[in-house]
Amino acid sequence: MSSASIKILGSGLCGSLLSIILAKRGYAVEIYESRSDPRKLSQAAGRSINLAMSSRGINALKYAGIFDQIKPLLIPMTGRMLHFKNGDKELQPYGQKEDEVIYSVSRFNLNQILIETAEKKYHVDINFEHSVKSYDPENAKIQMHSPKKEFFLEAQKILVADGAGSVIRKSFNDRAPIMPSESILPHSYKELTIPANDDGSFQLEKNALHVWPRGQFMLIALPNPAGDFTLTLFMPTMGKDSFAELSTDAAVTDFFDRHFASAVPLLPNLIHEFKNNPTGILGTVRCRHWHQDDKLLLIGDAAHALVPFHAQGMNFAFDDCVELDKVIGQHEHNWLEIFQNFEANQFDNATAIQEMALDNYIEMRDGVLDPKFALRKELSFELEKRLPNQFIPRYSMVMFHEKIPYAVSYQRGEIQKKLLAELTMDAEKLEEIDLNYAEKVVATKLAPL
């Protein structure tokens, strides 16, 4: 146990969970958060925004001893429900075992519970409406702003969890040791709502993540406990079929009628929401390093924000919290070693999941429309049945196997992708593939896990 103190910047998903884990270790934890206390607000801006949680996130919540409180919020999603342009629908299961599902969870409620637990149960001192204004890496002083005062924090053992737009990270632009870069995706997003039926029931199948794949763009919908769905449109920012083109009510109506006819009857507030809800940008944050000596460590999105198409940003940020706690246990009090080891353990994983998340956008909006996609998926499930320790579909490794690092999932996934393409090249159906031969090839290319 330690009686030392530690400061965290940001009480978002990463900062709030981290505070619980470190308080349990015995640290006196203090958080500075720019927003006001979410427990005093109703559902964020009247909208429910949700996230998909999978095994890495759940594992971290269990590690922190808080999963039982979060569990009632979770809605299982067993697969992708594809909505084709001709109105046909098809459910593609995510996995083939009963527990291979992902879960929709309200970001707002999740954050509220983490904050409440941190403060009430673990006595974390959370200073809301306290923003990082700037950071000068030379003299290691963080300038803070609150409604009552401006002050400086000494950068010493500071855990920086202020999200994708991190002020601290940006203060290192072009500067060692962090040397960050941001790649903005030329696609943006807008969140809309499919309301519940009058009796509170769901207008679409509740236990699925719905996708309307349309090549260059797509809609996705995740269920909320109140019977509504959060629907997100992802599409190019500029050019043909882009947000830039949807600048009038008529253009929005025409676009949805042409491309998403099956979704239109579910969207009574389409025009109002389209005009009033913000259009968000998406991007990938890469850094050369995540720490400055033993002064500060970037963690979660501040270190490695990624595009949301593998639904792993929060899951990875939660995994960071577990990993950091483990290295603290191994190198207690030596903060330079702690930060170095954390970076060494997670860095390749960040690069891997960032790539896989970008890949998955193409798969979700376009790849699933390839007639061979379903066959490759069927074959990968068959190979997993036959060689469960050697062939696990990449999606399953990322979403259901928290013990397989992202970097390993990525490397094995690349080999598997090639194998699946070769084995399905001349086949239309699974019966046309020589599965005994396929097994032998897999056995030569992939070592047991």
Ligand X SMILES: Cc1cc2nc3c(=O)[nH]c(=O)nc-3n(C[C@H](O)[C@H](O)[C@H](O)COP(=O)(O)OP(=O)(O)OC[C@H]3O[C@@H](n4cnc5c(N)ncnc54)[C@H](O)[C@@H]3O)c2cc1C
Name the residue nearer to ligand X (CB basis): 216 or 253. Answer: 216
Site string for ligand X, 265-294 (x = CB under 6 A): ---------------x--------------
User: What are the residues whose beta carbons fall under 8 Å from the beta carbon of 117, sequence distance 6 or more?
Assistant: 20, 66, 69
Residue 230 as a binder of ligand X (CB under 6 A): the answer is no
Q: Which of 24, 25, 30, 35 binds ligand X (CB under 6 A)?
A: 35
Q: How far apart are CA 280 and CA 35, in angstroms?
A: 19
Minimum gap (Å) between residue 140 Cβ and ligand X:
17
Q: Which residues of 189-211 are buried (b: 16+ CB within 10 A; e: fewer)?
A: bbbbbbebeeeeebbbebbbbbb
Q: Does 298 contact ligand X by CB under 6 A?
A: no
State which of residues 100, 119, 228, 301 lies at the interface with ligand X (CB under 6 A).
Answer: 301
Pick the stretch among 29-37, 63-71, 267-275, 385-393 that binds ligand X (CB under 6 A).
29-37
Q: Which residue is nearest to ligand X (CB)?
A: 12
Helices and strands (H, E) in the chain, number of each type = 14, 19
Does residue 311 touch ligand X according to CB under 6 A?
A: yes
Task: Decide if residue 424 touches ligand X (CB under 6 A).
Answer: no
> Which member of 59, 69, 127, 131 binds ligand X (CB under 6 A)?
131
Pick between residue 80 and residue 376 the one whose CB is nearest to ligand X.
80
How many angstroms separate the CA atoms of 307 and 358, rounded? 7
Question: How many angstroms separate the CA atoms of 332 and 22, rounded?
Answer: 12
Order the strands of the 131-136 sheet from edge to edge.
131-136, 141-145, 150-154
Whether the Cβ atoms of residue 379 and residue 424 lie closer than 8 Å to each other:
yes
Please answer whether residues 292 and 286 qualify as being in contact, where contact means their C-beta atoms are separated by less than 8 angstroms.
Answer: no
3-state secondary structure of 213: strand
The phi, psi pair for 16, rounded to 5°, reads: -70, -40
Which residue type, as a one-letter code, is found at position 294?
A: D
Q: Interface with ligand X includes 9 (CB under 6 A)?
A: yes
Site for ligand X in 170-199 (CB under 6 A): 189
* Binding flag, residue 15, ligand X (CB under 6 A): yes
Contact between 158 and ligand X (CB under 6 A)? no
DSSP state at residue 372: H
Q: How far is the CB of 190 from ligand X (least distance, A)?
A: 10
Q: Interface with ligand X by CB under 6 A: which residues?
A: 9-15, 32-35, 51-52, 131-132, 161-163, 167, 189, 280, 300-302, 308, 311-315, 317
